[in-house]
């Protein structure tokens, strides 16, 4: 076992972790609603159109790389809740940084599935919740995509904190499955189906509340409410992608928890 130990006295409970996940839902749902203002605008993220010869990034990739570099310089990635998409060598902050408590197990803390998230987001999620088309508004679209990607990335990588607290609460349950690298057993141990159902219902309600068209004319037919992103789709995005990705992060983290 590593000689570096986590600060096990740092207050960490499954309830407080779940409260943060609930709050993060607001950010995720809002970011999807904001992104839905623009059509798909696929040339922004599919095509290398940079006029600088030698740069084969798409506009969106270029934008994300540049923003991540600036954000690293002001300390974003010193926060263990944040995980970059492109930075292998994260520049040091050029400002004094906050000392975050070492809550995560150091050898497991670097789990990062953002490459997978990038593909899933652009190939599977985005075409589901935005209209097809191209209005040429690529810079604003890229900024909106980054907001979605960062909110979703934070949410799914929060699985590291969930896994840490579950491990601390029941190390004897988890240790045999970790030692035998039994991912199926780990998945079973960390799954709470009722919680997942509640999450899916709640995000649907949030999408209804945050994304309904607001009209001030009295006598409007309630049954004709319109939404910026279909609420059942937000629930599906959580059920089919965000929760499974969070669970994959939890498993990846646990597999390294005894290194």
Ligand X SMILES: O=C(O)C(=O)C[C@]1(C(=O)O)C=C[C@@H](O)C=C1
CB of 53 to ligand X, least distance (A): 44
| 2 close to 259: Cβ distance less than 8 angstroms | yes
List the one residue out of 22, 1, 51, 12 whose CA is nearest residue 201.
22
Q: Does 247 bind ligand X (CB under 6 A)?
A: yes
Name which of 40 and 190 has its Cβ closer to ligand X. Answer: 190
5-64 positions binding ligand X, by CB under 6 A: 18, 21
Pick the closest to residue 158 from 83, 86, 84, 76 (CA basis): 83
**Cβ pair 136, 38 in contact under 8 A:** no
70 binds ligand X (CB under 6 A): no
Q: Does 203 bind ligand X (CB under 6 A)?
A: no
* Distance between CA atoms of residues 20 and 72, nearest Å: 23
Instruction: Please report, as residue ranges, which positions from 82 to 111 form the binding site for ligand X (by CB under 6 A).
Output: none
Residue owning tokens 């084969």: 56
| Residue 199 engages ligand X in binding (rule: CB under 6 A) | yes
**Pair of tokens at residue 186:** 């780990």
- By CB under 6 A, name the one of 191, 209, 212, 232 that touches ligand X: 191
Nearer to ligand X, 182 or 240 (CB): 240
When asked if residue 168 is in the footprint of ligand X (CB under 6 A), the reply is no
Tokens of 11: 């207050």
User: By the criterion CB under 6 A, which residues form the site for ligand X?
Assistant: 18, 21, 162, 190-192, 195-196, 199, 243, 246-247, 250
């Amino acid at each position: 076992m590593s000689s570096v130990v986590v600060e096990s006295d740092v207050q960490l409970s499954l309830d407080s972790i779940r409260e943060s996940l609930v709050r993060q839902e607001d950010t995720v749902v809002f970011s999807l609603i904001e992104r839905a203002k623009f059509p798909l605008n696929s040339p922004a993220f599919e095509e290398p159109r940079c006029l600088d010869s030698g740069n084969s990034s798409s506009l969106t990739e270029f934008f994300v790389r540049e923003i991540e570099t600036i954000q690293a310089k002001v300390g974003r990635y010193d926060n263990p809740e944040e995980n970059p998409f492109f930075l292998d060598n994260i520049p040091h902050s050029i400002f004094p940084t906050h000392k975050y408590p070492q809550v995560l197990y150091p050898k497991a803390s670097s789990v990062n599935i953002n490459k997978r998230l990038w593909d899933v987001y652009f190939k599977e999620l985005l075409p589901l919740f935005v209209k097809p088309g191209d209005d040429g508004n690529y810079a604003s679209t890229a900024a909106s995509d980054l907001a979605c990607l960062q909110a979703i990335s934070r949410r799914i990588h929060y699985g590291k904190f969930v896994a840490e607290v579950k491990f601390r609460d029941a190390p004897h349950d988890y240790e045999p499955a970790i030692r035998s690298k039994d991912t199926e057993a780990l998945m079973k141990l960390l799954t709470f189906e009722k919680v997942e159902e509640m999450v899916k219902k709640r995000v649907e309600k949030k999408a209804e509340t945050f994304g309904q068209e607001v009209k001030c004319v009295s006598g409007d037919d309630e049954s004709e409410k319109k939404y910026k992103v279909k609420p059942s789709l937000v629930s599906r995005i959580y059920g089919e992608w965000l929760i499974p990705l969070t669970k994959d992060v939890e498993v990846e983290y646990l597999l390294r928890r005894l290194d």
